[in-house]
Structure 1
Amino acid sequence: MDLKTGTILAALTLLAPGCKIQYKTEKINYNPSRANVREGKRLTMLVCGSCHYNFETKDFTGKKLEDSPKFLGKIYAANITQHPGQGAGQYTPGELVYLLRTGISRSGRLMPYMHRPNMAEEDLDAIIAYLKSDDHAVRPSDRNPGKTKYSPIGRLGLSFTKPGKYQDARIQKPGSDPILLGKYLVDNLACFHCHSKNFTSLDVQEPERSKGFMGGGNKLRNAAGKKIQTPNLTPHATGIANWTEGEFRRAVTAGISKDNSVISYPMPLFPELTEAETSAIFAYLKTIPPIETK
């Protein structure tokens, strides 16, 4: 390590303890409408499953996020079963909505990766109904997936991420327009989180304003710990300009790429997506500005 790098790291280590990642919470009353629990499970798998669903235990007890850059520290997705201590059993519907709308947990901890400010009320209600249901995957489990420990750099980076402001607004889900539905799904499935330039320049309120929106290049790690960059999903020749809708659907639901290679971790599979939804995502991606990548 050279002197300059060492000096920067030392400065970050001194600054990190004072970085704010804890906020005051706001108590809100939220009465979810009667929702379809089955649809809630599908949505929970789509929105939360890639991080919180543990395929070994077949429940939402969380796991270590192996794809996160090591310099951020050790990051674990939490247990969100109904266990009152290890899980999310003590969360009220209002606290769950507040977390998804602002990225702030019931304890005041900032969790920006949970932030879904543009999710429709009907989808929120369905997810809450499922999390409060008797389905085996959300029944109380005391399994502790691990405790997140941010590095000084990780804590500093997180402190630059500002929480959202709670707005008591009835957000409607897009109707029959496939492009609007595709835009909604790219937002709420957090596709743009990984497929834009980097996590630090995301705009969760207006995803299309994120740096390098859907152009890829974000640095992650695969299952072997090797550094990788996310691919370009814009309609450029270096992206998906030459893909067919069928090839795209197979990639996101079955994990098989255009060249028949297997798409590996950390790309999650979304078998729960309907054909209409994958068509909508593909149609929307074809409308965004193309970005040329290496």
Structure 2
Amino acid sequence: MDLKIGTLLAVVTVLATGCRIHYKTEKIDYKTASADVGEGKRLTMLVCGSCHYNFETKDFSGKQLEDSPKFLGKIYAANITQHPGLGAGKYTPGELAYLVRTGIGRTGRLMPYMHRPNMADEDLDAIVAYLKSGDPAVRPSERNPGKTMYSPIGRLGLSFTKGGKYRGDSIQKPKNDPVLLGKYLVDNLACFHCHSKSFTSLDVQTPERSKGFMGGGNKLRDAAGKKIRTPNLTPHATGMLNWTEAEFRRAVTEGISKDNSVVSYPMPLYPELTAAETSAIYAYLKTIPPIDNKVK
């Protein structure tokens, strides 16, 4: 038995050390557009804040992602302030846009949790403009949040998450259809990353093709390091079938659940969401296929 386990671990290690987590980058034709920096800050908090915003230092200098499964290794969200060495100061606007749309950094490193291939042009432009602005939260910070060290299994899993191809076509935000706007927000806020079955079976290009899409059950850790599973958000009795829109909005913006309990870490709060946006997400969740999955 020990020999079999040793052999298996050796195979995993060999595979993992050869896993591809770096890619050749390409230079894109990205023209800086006039963008609303204030809206860019709001969007950056919504899209990037749960990982990269440090509430102790009140900036985007990163932190350890303590909710990630321990078998993946130690994972840190990077410093994305304008520091040229420890942050993202060397990134050009085009390189920032490329990172968001492909999940690949300027050095070719794969950063899958930053991958938003379907982000609308106006939102992408606003986020890039904000990251290059003079706002205190993105000014150069010398803080080093820590170096990500994937385990062999973590590297192997990461290799299955492929870097994307940059979408150069114009992507418009669906503002006039609440259900389509909700779908867009579930995609770009990465709700489906945690609330689907597993990080290893996500489809970032077409989120609804992810295994167990929004049905919950993904394994994370709470603030005390205890193993937890994400809740089912589909319109099933074991999910959100009996939730009202007001209850949903209170949960995602104030952190108070339907039964008046506090929504636990690592679920981030989204006070920046407008009433129209939470209404749109709620409307979209009511349209997705229900999944029978009672999560404790």
TM-score tier (shorter): over 0.9
* Offset of residue 13 of structure 1: 1.3
Is the aligned partner of 1:63 residue 2:63?
A: yes
Change in CA separation of 1:168 and 1:249 when aligned onto 2, cut-off 3 Å:
same
Matched ranges for 1:139-178 at <5 A: 139-178=139-178
Residue 256 of structure 1 aligns to a residue in which SS? coil
Alpha-carbon distance in 1 for matches of 2:2, 2:190: 37
Matched ranges for 1:71-150 at <5 A: 71-150=71-150
Aligned CA-pair RMSD: 1.0
* Offset of residue 33 of structure 1: 1.1
Residue 265 of structure 2 aligns to a residue in which SS? coil
1:159-213 per-residue CA deviation (whole Å, 9 max, x = no partner) reads 1111111121110000211000000000000000000000011000000000000
Alpha-carbon distance in 2 for matches of 1:5, 1:86: 40
**Aligned residue identity for 1:168:** G
1:221-252 per-residue CA deviation (whole Å, 9 max, x = no partner) reads 11111110000000000000000000000000
Alpha-carbon distance in 2 for matches of 1:273, 1:167: 26
More displaced stretch, 18-27 vs 42-51: 18-27
Between Structure 1 and Structure 2, how many residues are aligned?
294
Task: Report the equivalent of 2:240.
Answer: 240
**Aligned residue identity for 1:252:** V
Q: Name stretches of at least 5 consecutive residues in structure 1 with no aligned partner.
A: none
Task: Report the equivalent of 2:47.
Answer: 47
Alpha-carbon distance in 2 for matches of 1:12, 1:225: 26
* Offset of residue 2 of structure 1: 5.6
Change in CA separation of 1:285 and 1:4 when aligned onto 2, cut-off 3 Å:
farther
Same amino acid, percent of matched pairs: 83
* Offset of residue 6 of structure 1: 4.0
Task: Report the equivalent of 1:197.
Answer: 197
Alpha-carbon distance in 2 for matches of 1:61, 1:292: 40
Task: Report the equivalent of 2:14.
Answer: 14
| TM-score relative to the length of structure 1 | 0.98
Task: Report the equivalent of 1:180.
Answer: 180
* Offset of residue 11 of structure 1: 1.6
Residue 228 of structure 2 aligns to a residue in which SS? strand
Alpha-carbon distance in 2 for matches of 1:183, 1:56: 32
Task: Report the equivalent of 1:31.
Answer: 31
| TM-score relative to the length of structure 2 | 0.97
Q: Name stretches of at least 5 consecutive residues in structure 2 with no aligned partner.
A: none
Task: Report the equivalent of 2:282.
Answer: 282
Change in CA separation of 1:2 and 1:253 when aligned onto 2, cut-off 3 Å:
farther
Residue 184 of structure 1 aligns to a residue in which SS? helix
